[in-house]
Amino acid sequence: MIPLHKVFMPPDMAGLTQSLSAVLESGWIGEGPKVLEFEQALQPKVGSQHVTAVNSCTSAIQLALRLAGVEFGDEVVTTPMTCAATNEPILIAGAKPVWADIDPSSGNIAPESIREKLTDKTRAIMMVHWGGYPCNIEEIMSIAKEAGVSVIEDAAHALGSTYGDAPIGSHSDFVCFSFQAIKTITTGDGGAL
């Protein structure tokens, strides 16, 4: 049987065990100095000076939608080729997810379909880097600029990916990362905006 949800752990767990013990003994298990260290260490990896750790990528998406000004009755052009946790925050905000088609060669949202789905109710475009493979960010950002809408990236599987010469996290208005158990790196759970 293939252990789909078993996380790889290093054979020598001594360093990991010491680090976990230090955090638990500090009393800071949800916030605190180690979270700040993590945010600061993540900044150069994602090409942003502004990184905020949150409890999940879903929460990061909820924050991004709020910061983008998405409200009840608005529309967000997004992709159906994703986990439900990408599009649920749109519904929680009272907005409507409008699904654009995907590019069959990449599994990513197709820019030409995004353009077709834009209306006067569109407030944001949300792209998902399917399997960590970057979307056509340049074209999507151009479409968003023309339409005057924000761009949110669900980069749950794209930590460490690059687009051009820059890391995913440095191209759009808001980028959301996941540290859930099966992601590129894990903190047990968690996310970042």
pTM: 0.90
- Of 35, 65, 72, 74, the closest CA to residue 51 belongs to 35
pLDDT number for residue 28: 87
58-192: CATH topology is Aspartate Aminotransferase; domain 2 (3.40.640)
Q: Which residues are known catalytic residues?
A: 183
What confidence category does residue 183 fall into, taking pLDDT thresholds of 50, 70 and 90? confident
State the pLDDT at residue 67.
98
pLDDT in tens, 54-105: 999 999 999 999 999 999 999 999 999 999 999 999 999 999 999 999 999 9
Report whether pLDDT(170) > 80.
yes
Query: Would you list the domain boundaries of the chain?
Result: 58-192
Q: What is the mean pLDDT of the chain?
A: 93
Query: What is residue 18's predicted lDDT score, i.e. its pLDDT?
Result: 87
